[in-house]
Amino acid sequence: MAQDDNRLIAECREGNNAAFGELVARHQDRLFNSVLRLCDNAEDARDVVQEAFLHAYQSLQSFKGDALFFTWLYRIAVNTAISMKRKKRVVLRIQPVGEDGGTIEPLDPSETNRPGHALELAEEERRVHEALAKLSQEHRAVLVMKDMDGMKYEEMADVLGVPIGTIRSRLHRARLEMRDLLLQQEQK
């Protein structure tokens, strides 16, 4: 994967834009799913991912290759998501994922075969997404990186540009806050 990325990056640097298209195709879904949990809705997530790819294209020359391309791209996307959120400064608009015009589909449609399963999944997704949306951007980001993307502290520190100790304490506070929010939901 990394080798293929490096080859595509090299081709792109030589002026082959189609190679960048291939990079987008390879990473868009994974990036979108992470960004989706940092944003309030799929539409914003789409914008962030598109913007991140554009930034990446324009800064490709500065990519040194000492991290994976995806990690580098992820860093751009997280920063874009955080900055977009700051710019918008709107009240959180919690929109169940997938209800914005049916533009996104589950990756594995077979899971939805069982009657009622899709509804249960959607409800569970709504609850977790709603709780995540109430966290600060910093807490939300570390939970998504750790639990969804399975990143190590070191990678997360690299992406967010903070020491490992900060990642650990942010995750600690984020987990406790998330627990309180989910408990409150259950009590309602």
Which residues in 27-46 contact another protein (CB under 8 A)? 28-29, 32-33, 36-37, 42, 46
DSSP state of 55: H
Closest CA to 130 of 98, 103, 155, 93: 93
- From candidates 38, 49, 77, 135, binder to another protein by CB under 8 A: 49
DSSP state of 14: T
Does 3 help bind another protein (rule: CB under 8 A)?
no
Number of residues that bind another protein (CB under 8 A): 67
DSSP state of 6: H
Shortest distance, CB of residue 162 to another protein, whole angstroms?
6
Does 171 help bind another protein (rule: CB under 8 A)?
yes
- Retrieve residue 122's tokens: 């959607």
Closest CA to 47 of 3, 100, 105: 100
Span near another protein by CB under 8 A; candidates 3-11, 70-78, 86-94, 169-177:
169-177
Helix (H, G, I), strand (E, B) or coil at 4: helix
- From candidates 88, 114, 164, 184, binder to another protein by CB under 8 A: 164
Which residues in 67-86 contact another protein (CB under 8 A)? none
Helix (H, G, I), strand (E, B) or coil at 135: coil
> d(Cα 160, Cα 182) in Å, to the nearest integer?
26
Of the CA atoms within 13 Å of residue 183, those in its CB half-sphere come to 6
Residues that bind another protein (CB under 8 A): 13, 17, 20-21, 24-25, 28-29, 32-33, 36-37, 42, 46, 49-50, 53-54, 57-58, 60-62, 64, 66, 97-98, 103-108, 111, 121, 124-125, 128-129, 132, 143-144, 146-148, 150, 152-154, 157-158, 161-166, 168-169, 171-172, 175-176, 178-179, 182-183
